[in-house]
Amino acid sequence: MLIVLKPDVTQEEIDHIVSKIRSLKLEPYVSRGVHRTIITIIGDEDVLREQPFEAIAGVESVKPILRPFKLVSRETHPDRTVVRVGDVEIGANKIVVIAGPCAVEGEKEVIAHAQMVKKAGAQIFRAGAYKPRTSPYSFQGFGEKGLKYLAKAREETGLPVVTEVIDPRDVALVEEYADMLQIGTRNMQNFNLLKEVGKSKKPVLLKRGMSATINEFLMSAEYILSQGNRNIILCPRGIRTFEDVTRNTLDAGVVPVIKDWSHLPVIADPSHAMGIKAYVPAAAMAYVAAGADGIIVEAHPNPEDAISDGQQTIDSAQLVSLIERLGKLARAMDRDIA
């Protein structure tokens, strides 16, 4: 950690800061330049982070040297993590496509939707049994019944299923049925929920908070990892900006940063990033071109009849054509598609 001192810092103030650092059993190195004095501290940054150095007279700013996340970082884990969901490997060479409707819409429906997704060539089925809706009067999902329908859809098609869990009290129930637990954008900083899925044996698809920075996103993954669950997939899904044409702003730029800083795989969500189905395939291509290991896309045989998010949901012909184009892109990047 670097402590930059004010230009007019006094010797008494420097002595006070130095003794404060020594009282934490850390060693300060004072470097005097012509205009500035800085103090470098080598040692446990976690101890230092808790200290309000900025509140001490004479201190101008404090700069950490290490990133605040450890387990998520490639510094502590240089090899890339490959997460297995059923038989599907996420984070290996092959691009993975996860597809399905926003919500579980009923028993017959969810089976038909999973069959459509399988036929189109996707490897994992998605559908929400619990829906975190902006309005309390909107459809909230089928809940436990929806989970049972999802299990049937898996039985019928053999596709692993991913579904969202929105309440720490439901984690045990959802993990009984799902092959992967989704944490939605609104819950990215629901720390109790993160700790709970961190104790689960099931992989976790962690969506980026709609207003979260990259550091905050990775710290949320650190919460899960700190509880012992290493099977985390990071999911950019667009962020809120001043833009009001698309639902969110495509955050493809986060992908190379995550790939550089972290060993965790990335599955990106072009549907919630764009919010308009005509633009979803291009956004999916952009995420994969930026280095994503796959996409999670909303797809439905009849988007106009979808219970939720129909405006951003692609149909089966669009899904087939997207998967074909993703395959070409993957091969151009020396990757392949599952």
What three-state secondary structure class fits 206? Answer: strand
| Rounded least distance, CB 140 to Mn ion, Å | 13
Q: State which residue has the least CB distance to ligand PEP.
A: 184
Cβ neighbour number for residue 288 with a 10 Å cutoff: 26
The whole-angstrom separation of Cα 331 and Cα 39 is 50
247 binds ligand PEP (CB under 6 A): no
Q: How far is the CB of 169 from ligand PEP (least distance, A)?
A: 19
Q: How many CB atoms are closer than 10 A to CB 215? A: 12
* Residue nearer to ligand PEP on the CB measure, 91 or 141: 141
Q: Pairing mode, if any, of strands 267-268 and 294-298?
A: parallel
Q: Which does 237 bind (CB under 5 to 8 A by kind): ligand PEP, Mn ion, none?
A: ligand PEP
Residues 140-175 as b or e (16 or more Cβ within 10 Å = b) = ebbeeebbbbbbbbbeebebbbbbbbbebebbebbb
Query: Looking at beta carbons only, is 102 or 268 nearer to Mn ion?
Result: 102
- Using the rule CB under 6 A, which residue among 58, 141, 160, 184 binds ligand PEP? 184
- We find the least distance from the C-beta atom of residue 312 to Mn ion, in angstroms, to be 7
Nearer to ligand PEP, 28 or 128 (CB): 128
Number of residues that bind ligand PEP (CB under 6 A): 9
Structure tokens that stand for 57 in this block: 């007279």
Q: Give me the half-sphere count of Cα atoms (radius 13 Å) on the Cβ side of residue 162.
A: 33
207 binds ligand PEP (CB under 6 A): yes
User: Which chain residues interact with Mn ion by CB under 5 A?
Assistant: 102, 309
* Chain positions contacting ligand PEP, by CB under 6 A: 102, 128, 132, 184-185, 207, 237, 269, 272
